[in-house]
Amino acid sequence: DGTPMARTGWVRRQAMPLKDIPPDVRSAVLAAENESFYSDPGISVKGITRALVRTVGQGDTQGGSTITQQYVKNVYLNQNRSVSRKFTEAMISLKLDNKMSKDKILEGYLNTSWFGRGTYGLQRASQAYYGKDVSRLNASEGAFLASLLKGAGLYDPTLSEANHKRAVERWSWILDRMVKTGKLSASERATYTKFPEPLKQGRAFDTGKQSDYLVELATQYAKKAGHISDRDFDLGGYQIYTTFDRKREKTLTDTVTEARAKAKKDDPDKAKNAHYGAASIADDGRILAVYGGPDHRTQGYNESNATTVPAGSAFLPFVYAAGLQHGVHKTREGPATPVTPESVYDGNDGIPVSTPEGPYWDRSGKKVAAHNDGKKDHGQVTLRQALAASVNTPFMQLGMDTGLDKVRATAEASGLLSSSI
């Protein structure tokens, strides 16, 4: 309706003199990014050669950048990866190294580097991740912040379990490198055995329980469709218009909230483990409304599209529709047999799934069997009854009889994205 939902992407910067950044924190950055910084000429010939070879061969550049080169890229150049940009970066780096002191280059680098969470520079990163001034950081915390320079989206441990694992591994590696380079004693290293967990990520926006899910969904889509990096998005300046309908959003939220309350009242024990996700989609594919969960501020993942929540029974209608449309093949020869709501299938638990060629085997050589919720047996049931009672085994077999390629095509024709199947 033209009204603003949220404003995001605020960039937080604050320059800090190098003398106010603890030596251990500086050493952590050097160990992580460029341990020969104070002795190199500003470029790494081997690194540039490796990057150029990779650019010509595969279309991108990787590795090989000294801190001076990274500072040049931050301040004087864009983030595009090309042979010409890499050459220009090297030339400016050589010139800069002759005109500026190493301390000034390092200071500039630490104040212009992106650390995620909308922050540029160690001072803001220290506040965003640990809630304190950079001068109060220890070597362990500095090692974690240094790991973010490799890619904050991959190393912010609050974003995912995979991120957390990567962050811990790189944090430990950086501390070990500090010992190897003589910047940290073995005894000091031994005191840092516990990963310095950062604060949970603060919200860049806070619009309300459901609107936050919408903002996050739109943000993810804009970055992907517009090929916008996290860093560039944080710089701001984009105006994003969504297809969300305010009235439909309220109606959907009220409906799901009412259903949650009823389920909690009718069966409190089952309601504890229930997940609710919903979306309203127009015929042309526009997303009009989304219900992502009870409150984005306490549950960050979106249950309407979270990969952690299986589709489950919500996918049965697509299998059913494919069967109704295409019929089934008990053998590869001859025409398909029509399927109706009264077609009968075995609804018992543990039924082996078969194809027209015979049983369906998994990679370990075992027959694949279908299971119902609670491993309950339902006997012989019609597809109409199976759909109403959410019985899995008939639809597992129906999918194989119809052909999984046809089930996939039917789901995609209904509006599901191919990557979601």
Asked whether residue 119 is assigned to any structural domain, the reply reads yes
Which residues, including other chains, have CB under 8 Å from residue 221's CB and lie 6 or more apart?
A: none
Backbone angles phi, psi at 345, to 5 degrees: -135, 160
Residues of the chain with pLDDT under 50: 55-63, 420-421
242 and 271 fall within a common domain: yes
Residue 420, pLDDT score: 40
287 and 323 fall within a common domain: no
Helix extents (H) in 226-267:
230-235, 246-266
Give the chain's domain count: 3
How many beta carbons lie within 10 A of that of residue 86, not counting itself? 20
146 and 269 fall within a common domain: no
249 and 337 fall within a common domain: no
Torsion of CA 207, 211, 213, 219, to 10 degrees: -80
159 and 278 fall within a common domain: no
pTM: 0.53
Asked whether residue 224 is assigned to any structural domain, the reply reads yes
One-letter amino acid at 351 equals I
20 and 121 fall within a common domain: yes
What is the rounded distance in angstroms from the CA atom of residue 33 to the CA atom of residue 28? 9
Residue 307, pLDDT score: 59
Residue 208, pLDDT score: 65
Residue 310, pLDDT score: 63
180 and 240 fall within a common domain: no
55 and 184 fall within a common domain: yes
Residue 187, pLDDT score: 94
Residue 26, pLDDT score: 94
Q: Which structural domain, as residue segments, surrounds residue 157?
A: 12-191
What is the rounded distance in angstroms from the CA atom of residue 93 to the CA atom of residue 73? 9
215 and 258 fall within a common domain: yes
50 and 82 fall within a common domain: yes
Residue 194, pLDDT score: 94
Last residue of a domain, one of 191, 223, 255: 191
Q: Which residue has the tokens 């903002």?
A: 215
Asked whether residue 1 is assigned to any structural domain, the reply reads no
Which residues, including other chains, have CB under 8 Å from residue 85's CB and lie 6 or more apart?
A: 77, 78
Helix extents (H) in 59-157:
67-75, 83-99, 102-112, 122-130, 139-147, 152-155
Strand partners, 167: none
Residue 39, pLDDT score: 85
Torsion of CA 77, 83, 84, 90, to 10 degrees: 60
> Would strands 119-120 and 12-13 be described as parallel, antiparallel, or unpaired?
parallel
223 and 164 fall within a common domain: no
Asked whether residue 305 is assigned to any structural domain, the reply reads no
410 and 345 fall within a common domain: yes
How many angstroms separate the Cα of 146 from the Cα of each of 97, 122, 134, 173, 357?
22, 9, 13, 11, 56
